Structure 1
Amino acid sequence: MRKRWKWIIYASSIVALVASASFTIYCAWKVYAYHQPGEREINEHENNAYHFVLVPEELDNDYWRLVEKGAKAAAKETGVHLEYVGPRQANIDEHIRILEKAAASKVDGIMTQGLTEKEFTPMINRIIEKNIPVVTVDTDAPTSKRTAYIGTDNYYAGFIAGRALAEDMRGKANVAIITGSLTASHQKLRVQGFKDAVKKEKGIRIIAVEESNITRIQAAEKAYSILKKHPEVNAFYGTSALDAIGIAKVIEQFHREKETYIIGFDTLPETIHYLQKGTIHATVVQEPYEMGYRAVKAMVDIIKGNDVPSVTNTETKVIRKQDLPLRPARNYEVKHD
């Protein structure tokens, strides 16, 4: 009897040891997986719901958080599993790698930008060949096989920015353009639209076009450099959400608020702050929440076999201080969890 009890105690100890070790390994893996930046696992969807992935240009960018907010609202309404994963900072190579991972995981649909012709068009086409629909958001890839585009007409957005500057400056200005990227298609379209809008204005000259790499710091550095080299510049146009913010900081540093006109893009809290102060005079308003919301709704329709327009342009307009506050707030108010 005594031997039997010893055997039972021994066996119980082994079982407890194995269980403890397994739990320790599991916890260690969870901690490891949690702390991998930009590498959140693209998991199998639950309860047989559709599994969509939204891959933004920059994960923690306030503009893209509004796109995410709209996408999550639509996902909740339609009962789909939505994953939001992308580069911490804008990085085309990492962006492409995340798209490849999503496609390899055989998700039901992918939503992303078509940032460049060279890298994104072939990537999107490879995803489509795997029978995974792709909806481009904010930035189109028109020559790709993407299923649909939902977002701003970026050429038109640049055009109305140019017309607003021409009207506000009464057809006379020495303009510097600071753009988020010289290669991203949506930024190029915003620059070209602007140029076309002012090209017939004899009193408007474009002095310089510089790149900010979508950062406040580089936008400020480029604005500072431009003013040092070209003190005659009295107007700036920023084509990404952070450009006008960086420009405004420099204009205040130079105490040139009364003599320098700034028109930017989007309505981040800092942009609104400078608009209310009068440092920024106008900004082009997009509808990021609507882009995310409609993209998820369109993806559900695509999978169900319903007809979806090839292109759906969300509203774009120029606003000034007198147009505040903007409604509906969901497209403009950034609230961090």
Structure 2
Amino acid sequence: MKGSKWIGVGAFLTFCIVSVMFLTLLGQDLFKIESASEKASSAYQYHFVLVPEELDNEYWQLVQKGAADAAAAHRVYLEYLGPKQADIDDHLKTIDMAIAGHVDGIMTQGLDAKKYKPLFQKAREKGIDVVTVDTDAEGSKRQVYVGTDNYYSGFIAGQALIADTKGEQYVGIVTGRLDAVHQKQRVKGFRDAVAAEKRIHIAGIEESAITKSGASGAAYKLLNDHANLTAFYGTSALDGVGIIQATSQYQSTTDIYVLAFDTLPDTIQALDDGEIDAVVVQHPYEMGYQAVESLVRLQKGEKEEPLQYTGTSVIRREDLPLQQTDRRQGMQP
């Protein structure tokens, strides 16, 4: 019994010693975290979040690169958070999380003005600045829009088709999302541009869901449904490459004209190879950079122009040497 008693006392003492050591170590870890937090707060002036439509999308990665470069220049702690695949509900949840985190500023798309208005209102009520990028949310509490004039980009795409083709044209439109505001504007601008040209007809429109495979499937469906198709217009970044995947597999004697959007590497390569005829150029790097700078100025209490359009143009194969020079300078995607 005596031995058992001393064994029990020894076990209790061991437990106490281990507990004290654990609490000491825990206290050290907490101290390190607190110190790291203090260090971070002294290293950065502001905390901004960029919420893309889709994290791994090459286009949005270019926006993020521009934002990151501007953030580094202005002592901004920048987070890049959003859905892995385009999903409006996940997109809204991420913005709501950023608001709950009491960040200083949010950059995001306004894909559906009605759904985004309450969130932007909530952010502003908490003193968080909001800048929409690439797609605006008109009538909301966002302070600034930085990005393409999407209607104009669609209009010059239509003008390019008119200039580059002759005779009757039957056009299939592949669009990223049928319900997205910026995609609708690009389609409307295109339709308005070709409306007076009696030789050009819109054969049909299909959704790509912002993926190459989706664009390929949409293009193939249009080819099957409209045997007389002579041209394609893709309104989102991955549509062009998806379209040529479909046209290369489809048995057709017609030389199909392809008009794409955005200068991602695969799209530019296809333009250089003659598989794509023209590309509408946006400036995602500039959008990201300018959006951060706008948020910084808003944080300082400066007045900002609410509509800040970045440049838009159409390039053909002969324009590639200049375009490639611009890309090496990091100002083009």
| TM-score of the superposed pair, with normalisation by structure 2 | 0.87
User: What letter matches 2:130 in structure 1?
Assistant: V
| 2:197 aligned residue | 201
Q: 1:10 to 1:311 in 2, by over 3 A?
A: closer
Which runs of structure 2 are paired with 1:91-102 in the superposition (5 Å)? Answer: 91-102=87-98
Match 1:105 to one of 96, 101, 106: 101
The alignment-based identity, stated in percent, is 49
Instruction: Mark the CA change 1:74 to 1:257 in structure 2 (over 3 Å): closer, same or farther.
Output: farther
Aligned residue type for 2:326? P
* 1:186 maps to 2:182: yes
- Contact residue 75 and residue 82 of structure 1 kept, 8 A: yes
- Matched residues in 2 for 1:234 and 1:271: separation? 20
Aligned partners of 2:142 and 2:222: how far apart in 1? 39
Q: CA deviation at 1:172?
A: 3.1
**What letter is aligned with 2:20?**
V
Q: Which of 62, 75, 79 is residue 83 of structure 1 equivalent to?
A: 79
Structure 1 position 331, deviation (Å)? 3.9
- Aligned-pair CA distance for 1:56: 0.5
RMSD: 2.4
User: Can you give the 5+ residue segments of structure 2 that lack an aligned partner in the other structure?
Assistant: 1-5, 31-38
- Against the structure 1 CA distance between its residues 143 and 45, is the aligned structure 2 distance closer, same or farther, given a 3 Å change threshold? farther
Q: Does 1:163 align with 2:159?
A: yes
Is the 2:113–2:138 Cα contact (8 Å) retained in structure 1?
Answer: no
The superposition leaves residues 167-218 of structure 1 with CA deviations (integer Å, 9 ceiling, x where unpaired) of: 1013631001010011100000000000000000010000001111111111
CA contact 1:175–1:205 (8 Å) conserved in 2: yes
Given that residues 252 and 279 in structure 1 are in contact (C-alpha distance below 8 angstroms), is that contact kept between their aligned partners in structure 2?
Answer: no
Where do 5+ consecutive residues of structure 1 fail to align?
A: 27-43
Aligned residues: 310
Pick one of 250, 270, 277 that aligns with 1:274. Answer: 270
Which of 135, 138, 148 is the equivalent residue of 2:134?
138
Cα separation, 1, equivalents of 2:166 and 2:129 = 47
* Alpha-carbon distance between aligned partners in 2 of 1:296 and 1:211, rounded to the nearest angstrom: 31
Corresponding residue for residue 3 of structure 2: none
Distance 2:131 2:63 in 1: 13
Q: Is the 8 A contact 1:284 1:319 kept in 2?
A: yes
Structure whose residues are more often helix by fraction: 2
The match for 1:149 is 145
| Contact 2:82 2:91 (8 Å CA) reproduced | yes
- Give the 3-state SS of the residue equivalent to 2:92 in structure 1: helix
Q: Which has more radius of gyration?
A: 2
Question: Cα offset for 1:64?
Answer: 0.4
Are 2:301 and 1:296 aligned? no
Q: Deviations over 1:123-176 (max 9, x none)?
A: 222222222110000111121111001100000000000000111013631001
Change over 3 Å in CA distance of 1:184–1:16 after alignment to 2: same
Per-residue deviation, residues 77-124 of structure 1 (Å, max 9, x unmatched): 011111110100101000100111111111111110111122112222
SS at match of 2:260: strand
One of 41, 47, 52 as aligned partner of 1:46: 41
